[in-house]
Chain A
Amino acid sequence: MSQEHEIDLVLATAGGPVDWSEIPASFPVSEARSLEDAFNRMAEDLAPSLGADQIVVRFCQSTGIGARLHPCAPGRYVITLPIGLFVRMYAVGRRLWAYRDRERKGINPKTILQFATSPADDYDPDALIVPDRVRSIFGEYKTDREFWPQLVEFDAGNEHAEKTDFNVSILVNQALVLVYAHELGHLALGHVAFAKEVLAVTSPDPLAEVKRLVRKGLELEADYFAGPQLAGLCYLDIERNGRLDSSDDWAADFFRIGFSLVMLFGAFDPRKRSLGVYDREFYAHPIVRHQAVRHSISAFFSQVGALQELWRKSSVMGWIEAEQCIAWFTLLECMDGASAESLIPIHALVHGGEASSPYISAKLRHGQALFEATQRVRQRFVDGRFSLGDLEEFVPLLESSV
């Protein structure tokens, strides 16, 4: 099969090329295409340093939100970004950002609202429903046919104000840069070769559980890689505009990053499955991944511009504000059909109250230890010093995660 055919096949598997003329007019297609061009330019510049001959980045006609890095022919890679991620982030960003203006909506701005499920609860995630009204944002579709009309209907309820879209455009760009950088991170960190040569599971495989855990560690490492890429672009943007000394500009950008991270990671698991459910999966819980990204951005700003404290304060404000907007949105728009048997889980990264915090802290510490162990072992692989015995380092983490 020719290399072009292989790339075409990968793109087809991910949904095929986007038919831009079919994207509803309320979504800025030109912005998605500019973003795709920028990602391709970055990929082209970076490819030689990553040992790749070619990295192609394409939006695909999929309504899901899962981006992927596909190894294609030797040295050639395709990063696919579903157009669903772009339009869903836009639609929900518009809705949530408008909830910042709560007083105008007749809500007492001093009222704090918090929805939470306990991360220790072992509830059945299927009992939690994604209401029809927000299915196009948080739900899945067997086919794409139903998605677009439902999305258009949801977006019609948004205020299409210029000021809102100015901010939402930044939020969506931030979310997509993070997802793109996560995929690029897999390549930059040597995950493709590592996964292929070390993590392939044979049957039976006594190391299967350990390999699954290491795979999760790779995802955390890619998250940790992505944070500083987003922070670096933010820095370059402010520098280009000559605003490096403006703490207001920094604070506004940090606030928006804090907000967009909640939007993105909140969308990854709208059913709010408990932390324990993720023990046996390839991905850490969104709470843990969110923390990994925040931590990596904080580390970046402690070295660049000594902005760590401002980052912490402003991004936490963005985080809290996003949680508030989601909570009000849930209460006012998503409660139809709720009952004791069918709960509405549309909150973001708030899980439980005081009683839950030791449990969450333990999971965050576990995530950090897994990240650090993965970093060490993966580096040994990259340096050519790896042996299978190195995987034993993960055994204690396996025991403490379940």
Chain B
Amino acid sequence: MQPAEADFRYLGMRDDDLLLALGRQLIAGSLGAKGASDDETRQAGARWFDAYVQQLRPKLCGNAELRSLLGREAQDRNALFCLIFDLIFTPHLGVPAGALASRILSLGVSKICPDWK
């Protein structure tokens, strides 16, 4: 699955805004007794990301093409983004796939797959 044009806008976002985008979507899918502040929304996004990345790790770290691009994040940023997007995309992801792919990219794939070093 290739990212749409709208997904690329996440590439330039700061980490705080990516977490907000993730958290907003997660919170929108639930009903609560009280509105969530931006900080609470970011926290939800960060916690979800940390937990979900554990589940994604085998898929990301087992991908040879991704590994071959390691260390070339600066040159091949868009190609990496597209590849990560394709790997993580599922129809019922529950968050914007572009935001998730962008955060994985900005966090650094090598941090998620430390054995690659």
Cα distance, A314 to B6, chains bound together (Å)? 57
Check: A192 CB closer than 8 A to any chain B CB. Answer: yes
Question: What is the CA–CA distance of A335 and B22 in the complex, to the nearest angstrom?
Answer: 38
Quick check: is A179 within 8 A (CB to CB) of the other chain? yes
Within 1-34 of A, Cβ neighbours of B (below 8 Å) are at: 1, 5, 8-9, 12-16
**6 cross-chain CB contacts under 8 A:** A12-B47, A12-B51, A66-B34, A67-B34, A70-B30, A218-B31
Residue ID in chain B nearest A64 by CB atoms: B40
Binding site for A on B (CB under 8 A): 26-27, 29-37, 39-40, 42-44, 47-48, 50-52, 55
Contact partner of B47 (CB less than 8 A), chosen from A14, A70, A282, is A14
Alpha-carbon gap, A16 to B44, bound state (A):
10
Q: How far is the CB of B3 from chain A (nearest CB, A)?
A: 18
Q: With A66-B40, A140-B39 in contact, is A8–B51 under 8 Å at CB?
A: yes
Interface centre among A9, A65, A222, A283 (most CB of B within 10 A): A9
Interchain CB contact (< 8 A) of A62 among B33, B34, B43, B52: B43
Q: For the complex, is A195 an interface residue (Cβ under 8 Å from B)?
A: yes
Seen from chain A, the residues whose Cβ lies within 8 Å of a Cβ on chain B are 1, 5, 8-9, 12-16, 62, 64-71, 140-142, 179, 182-183, 186, 191-192, 195, 218-219, 222, 268, 281-283
A8 to B44, CA, bound (A): 14
Pairwise interchain contact B33-A13, C-beta atoms closer than 8 A: no
Extra pairs beyond A9-B51, A66-B34, A68-B31 (12, CB < 8 Å): A12-B48, A12-B50, A66-B32, A67-B33, A140-B39, A142-B42, A142-B43, A183-B32, A191-B31, A192-B31, A218-B31, A282-B35
B85 CB → nearest A CB, Å? 18
B52 proximity list for chain A (CB < 8 A)? 9
Tell me, in angstroms, the Cα distance from A338 to B30 when the chains sit together.
Answer: 38
Q: A68-B30, A69-B30, A191-B31 are in contact. Are A13 and B39 (CB under 8 A)?
A: no
Q: For residue A1, which residue of chain B has the nearest CB?
A: B55
Whether B47 pairs with A67 at a CB distance below 8 angstroms is no
Contact across chains for B47 and A5 when beta carbons are under 8 A apart: no
In the complex, what residue of chain A is closest to B37 when comparing beta carbons? A140
| A residues near B34, Cβ cutoff 8 Å | 65-67, 268, 283
From B27, B35, B44, give the contact of A283 (CB < 8 A).
Answer: B35
Residue of B with least CB distance to A142 = B39
List of 4 A-B pairs having minimum Cβ-Cβ separation, nearest first: A12-B51, A68-B32, A13-B48, A66-B34
Bound CA–CA A33/B69 (angstroms): 49
By beta carbon, the residue of chain B nearest A267 is B34
Given contacts A67-B33, A179-B33, A191-B31, contact A13 B40 (CB under 8 A): no
Task: Report Cα–Cα, A183/B47, bound state, in Å.
Answer: 22
Contacts of B35 in A (CB 8 A): 66, 281-283
* Docked CA distance A9–B52 (Å): 7
Specify which of A68, A69, A140 lies most central, judged by the most chain B CB atoms within 10 Å of its CB.
A68
Q: For residue A13, give the distance in angstroms from its CB to the closest CB of chain B.
A: 4
Bound-state Cα–Cα, A71 to B27, Å:
11
Q: Which of A13, A179, A182 contacts B26 (CB 8 A)?
A: A13
CB pair B44 A71 closer than 8 Å: no
- Complex CA gap A222/B32 in Å reads 10
Distance in angstroms from A288 CB to nearest chain B CB is: 14
Report the nearest A residue to B23, measured CB to CB: A13
Q: How far is the CA of A9 from the CA of B39 in the complex (A)?
A: 19
The interface residues of chain A lying within 8 Å CB-to-CB of B48 are 9, 12-13
Interfacial chain B residues near A283, Cβ < 8 Å:
34-35
